[in-house]
């Protein structure tokens, strides 16, 4: 046991609670990946009626809102992040009437609904893109996307050197009606996801209209896909040349790329913020912040100071804190990550969000079992070394207990409350993420974290739907982790999540101030106090090293390890109060 003498709360807080009552400052939001949450009709793909039927589960879990990944009309080349009609629901998921029912039912249960907006690109099957192809070079229809002539004698070379995120070139050449090759169009992701031209006012107007369409249907907010990519550097310069100009010398550094984090994106979000604010009711008693509509940026931007520019008071309400998700499982790194997150967000008065898993990354119950400090893999294959599931779960629970005690907002990803690992032995033939093909099988991609939810162990598709069908195969181990195996079972991961969310809510942890604690053992702990007016201080410690003794006057609120012990073992988080 490491020598522990005292637990000393520092004299000044690192983060002072904002005091604002807006729900988005403190909310716990649960991400539903609609393909994989609940299938009502047995076709193997989840759907909106499935989600609606299971909403009471979210109410009981204790979250404040759900964010639903795209459910719009789509050829599903990127699981719905390739939208063909922003104002309709794909038949795979249901109808607009189903969406209305879902929103109404969620509100009855006091759950807010956040929908996913994909403004960087549409599907190549969107009416606008089809019209652009038909209308030909120089037409106003082409001006809605990023068409360019090719380089080389006959335009046979792409307009610049950009590579697509999923692999291969970021440009695809089209042919005219007679089959003769002509212009190229830009797609930062898949060729089936052409990028919009956000310098065209028509595109801007269209998205204001789309936002209005969903706001009028009663949604509480938007999660905005690749919010940092809408504007590209003038003239679409080569990536390598731009990186050198920017002085980074590193063409692979995201922010250094001419397609990311350009100044011009911010005026787009200012306009959207004005629109959202116009929906926030004001009455004789003043502004009703509980009814706020809010938007969260998915922007893989670093360092945190750059990201904070997206959450200035007249832009986004929140941005995902991916720096936290990427932080190695080490005390010093987490301490620094939390400190810098608060520093940057507090400087603009925005809440910090905390996120550990989503549909794009290896789940944290698997990721945290990988060697610490190594880059995060894009999926794990059967032939890769298999992570230690018990270690991964132990660390995942400790990480989540740390996350949910931090002031600010939290994002949870479906199934993490069951301790689901990634499917790390999925047969390659089953893979659907375009990354797998586009990377020429060098990257497994994201299917492992997108596997359908297990609800009932002894049922077809583990209760995901009424049939055996599942669009991705479920691993055997999901049976024992199914909801019915954990519901009401003391010590289960599900009950632990419910407990954490209940305590977080009752103690109003999201609105607290954070003060670091010193002397709690050695450099291998992260320890802080979350304080709120009218509540007792909550002490939180996560241990990364030798066992640490808690102070003598401790009352344990909850522990990701043994709640009866006054010793904190390695990879355990404890919440406690003191006499």
Concatenate the DSSP letters of all residues of 375-427 into one string.
PPPS---TTSPPP-HHHHHHHHHHHHHHHHHSSSEEEEETTGGGTPPP-TT--
Residue number with CB closer to ligand NOJ (23 or 189):
189
What's the rounded Cα separation, in Å, for the pair 346 and 421? 34
Q: Which of 329, 343, 374 lies closest to 542 in space, CA to CA?
A: 329
Q: Any contact of residue 361 with ligand NOJ (CB under 6 A)?
A: no
Q: How far apart are CB 118 and ligand NOJ at their closest, in Å?
A: 6
Q: How far apart are CB 36 and ligand NOJ at their closest, in Å?
A: 13
Report the 3 state secondary structure along 500-548.
HHHHHHHCCHHHCEEEEEECCCCCCEEEEEEECCCCCCEEEEEECCCCE
What's the rounded Cα separation, in Å, for the pair 145 and 139? 11
Q: How far apart are CB 298 and ligand NOJ at their closest, in Å?
A: 6
Q: Choose, by CB under 6 A, the member of 45, 92, 118, 243 that binds ligand NOJ.
A: 118
Q: How far apart are CB 75 and ligand NOJ at their closest, in Å?
A: 14
The 259-298 site mask, x for binding ligand NOJ (CB under 6 A), equals ---------------------------------------x
Residue number with CB closer to ligand NOJ (225 or 403):
225
Q: Any contact of residue 78 with ligand NOJ (CB under 6 A)?
A: yes
**DSSP 8-state symbol, 318:** E
Q: Any contact of residue 81 with ligand NOJ (CB under 6 A)?
A: yes
Q: Choose, by CB under 6 A, the member of 98, 141, 225, 447 that binds ligand NOJ.
A: 225
Tokens of 250: 């590193």
What's the rounded Cα separation, in Å, for the pair 78 and 449? 15
Residue number with CB closer to ligand NOJ (203 or 483):
203
Report whether 125 contacts 85 (CB < 8 A).
no
Residue number with CB closer to ligand NOJ (433 or 569):
433
HSE value, Cβ hemisphere, 13 Å, CA-based, for 566 = 10
Q: Any contact of residue 526 with ligand NOJ (CB under 6 A)?
A: no
222: β partners:
115, 295
567: β partners:
549
Q: Any contact of residue 226 with ligand NOJ (CB under 6 A)?
A: yes
Residue number with CB closer to ligand NOJ (79 or 538):
79
Q: Residue 11's CB: how many other CB atoms inside 10 A? A: 6
Q: How far apart are CB 102 and ligand NOJ at their closest, in Å?
A: 21
Q: Any contact of residue 33 with ligand NOJ (CB under 6 A)?
A: no
Q: How far apart are CB 167 and ligand NOJ at their closest, in Å?
A: 12
- Rounded to a whole number of angstroms, the distance between the first and last alpha carbons of the chain is 24
Q: How far apart are CB 361 and ligand NOJ at their closest, in Å?
A: 9
Q: How far apart are CB 226 and ligand NOJ at their closest, in Å?
A: 5
- Count residues near ligand NOJ (CB under 6 A): 9
Q: How far apart are CB 469 and ligand NOJ at their closest, in Å?
A: 23
What's the rounded Cα separation, in Å, for the pair 281 and 246? 44
Residue number with CB closer to ligand NOJ (322 or 342):
322
Residue number with CB closer to ligand NOJ (436 or 575):
436
Q: How far apart are CB 254 and ligand NOJ at their closest, in Å?
A: 13
**Cβ neighbours of residue 283 closer than 8 Å, sequence gap 6 or more:** none
Q: Any contact of residue 47 with ligand NOJ (CB under 6 A)?
A: no
Report whether 379 contacts 397 (CB < 8 A).
no
Residue number with CB closer to ligand NOJ (31 or 352):
31
Q: Any contact of residue 195 with ligand NOJ (CB under 6 A)?
A: no
Q: How far apart are CB 227 and ligand NOJ at their closest, in Å?
A: 10
Residue number with CB closer to ligand NOJ (302 or 339):
302
Q: Any contact of residue 37 with ligand NOJ (CB under 6 A)?
A: no
Residue nearest to ligand NOJ (CB): 81
Q: Any contact of residue 360 with ligand NOJ (CB under 6 A)?
A: yes
Q: How far apart are CB 232 and ligand NOJ at their closest, in Å?
A: 15
Report whether 453 contacts 37 (CB < 8 A).
yes
* Sign of torsion over alpha carbons 231, 234, 237, 239: negative
Residue number with CB closer to ligand NOJ (194 or 392):
194
Q: Any contact of residue 189 with ligand NOJ (CB under 6 A)?
A: yes
Residue number with CB closer to ligand NOJ (220 or 360):
360
User: 83-86: long-range contacts (C-beta < 8 A, 24 or more apart)?
Assistant: 83/118, 83/122, 83/123, 83/126, 84/122, 84/123, 84/125, 84/126, 84/127, 85/126, 85/127, 86/117, 86/118, 86/122, 86/210, 86/213
What's the rounded Cα separation, in Å, for the pair 240 and 259? 12
Residue number with CB closer to ligand NOJ (118 or 380):
118
Q: Which residues are near ligand NOJ by CB under 6 A?
A: 78, 81, 118, 189, 225-226, 298, 359-360
């Amino acid at each position: 046991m490491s020598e522990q003498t005292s637990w000393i709360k520092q004299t000044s807080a690192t983060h002072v609670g904002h005091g604002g009552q807006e729900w988005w400052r403190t909310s716990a939001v649960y991400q539903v990946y609609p393909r994989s949450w609940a299938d009502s009709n047995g076709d193997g793909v989840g759907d909106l009626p499935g989600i609606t039927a299971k909403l009471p589960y979210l109410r009981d879990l204790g979250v404040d809102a759900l964010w639903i990944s795209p459910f719009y009309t789509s050829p599903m080349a990127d699981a719905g992040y390739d939208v063909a009609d922003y104002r309709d629901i794909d038949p795979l998921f249901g109808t607009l009437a189903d969406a209305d029912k879902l929103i109404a039912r969620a509100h009855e249960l006091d759950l807010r609904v956040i929908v996913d907006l994909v403004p960087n690109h549409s599907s190549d099957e969107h009416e606008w893109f089809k019209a652009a192809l038909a209308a030909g070079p120089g037409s106003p229809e082409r001006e809605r996307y990023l068409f360019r002539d090719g380089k080389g004698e006959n335009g046979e070379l792409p307009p610049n050197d950009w590579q697509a995120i999923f692999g291969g070139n970021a440009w695809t050449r089209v042919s005219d009606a007679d089959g003769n090759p002509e212009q190229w169009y830009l797609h930062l992701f898949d060729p089936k996801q052409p990028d919009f031209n956000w310098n065209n006012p028509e595109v801007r107007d269209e998205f204001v209209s789309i936002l209005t369409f969903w706001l009028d249907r009663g949604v509480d907010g938007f999660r905005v896909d690749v919010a940092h990519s809408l504007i590209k550097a003038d003239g679409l310069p080569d990536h390598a040349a731009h990186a050198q100009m920017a002085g980074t010398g590193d063409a692979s550094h995201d922010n250094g790329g001419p397609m990311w984090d350009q100044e011009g994106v911010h005026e787009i979000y200012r306009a959207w913020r004005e629109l959202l604010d116009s929906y926030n009711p004001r009455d004789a008693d003043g502004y009703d912040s509980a009814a706020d509509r809010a938007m969260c940026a998915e922007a893989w931007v670093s360092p945190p100071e750059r990201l904070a520019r997206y959450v200035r008071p007249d832009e986004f309400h929140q941005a995902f804190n991916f720096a936290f998700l990427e932080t190695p499982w080490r005390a010093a790194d987490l301490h620094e990550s939390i400190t810098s997150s608060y520093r940057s967000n507090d400087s603009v008065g925005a809440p910090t969000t905390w996120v550990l898993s989503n549909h794009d990354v290896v789940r944290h119950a698997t990721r945290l079992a990988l060697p610490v400090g190594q880059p995060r893999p894009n999926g794990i294959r059967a032939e890769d070394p298999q992570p230690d599931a018990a270690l991964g779960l132990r660390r995942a629970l400790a990480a989540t207990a740390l996350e949910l005690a931090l002031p600010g907002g939290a994002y949870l990803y479906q199934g993490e409350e069951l301790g689901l690992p990634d499917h790390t032995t999925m047969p390659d033939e089953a893979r659907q993420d375009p990354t797998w093909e586009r990377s020429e099988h060098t990257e497994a991609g994201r299917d492992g974290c997108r596997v359908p939810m297990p609800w009932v162990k002894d049922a077809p598709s583990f209760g995901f739907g009424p049939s055996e069908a599942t669009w991705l195969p479920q691993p055997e181990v999901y049976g024992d982790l199914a909801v019915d195996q954990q519901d009401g079972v003391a010590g289960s991961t599900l009950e632990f999540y419910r407990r954490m969310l209940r305590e977080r809510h009752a103690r109003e942890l999201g609105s607290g101030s954070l003060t670091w604690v010193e002397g709690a053992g050695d450099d291998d702990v992260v320890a802080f106090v979350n304080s709120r007016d009218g509540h007792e201080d909550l002490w939180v410690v996560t241990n990364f090293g030798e066992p640490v003794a808690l102070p003598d006057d401790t009352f344990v609120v909850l522990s990701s390890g043994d709640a009866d012990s006054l010793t904190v073992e390695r990879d355990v988080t404890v919440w406690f109060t003191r006499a």
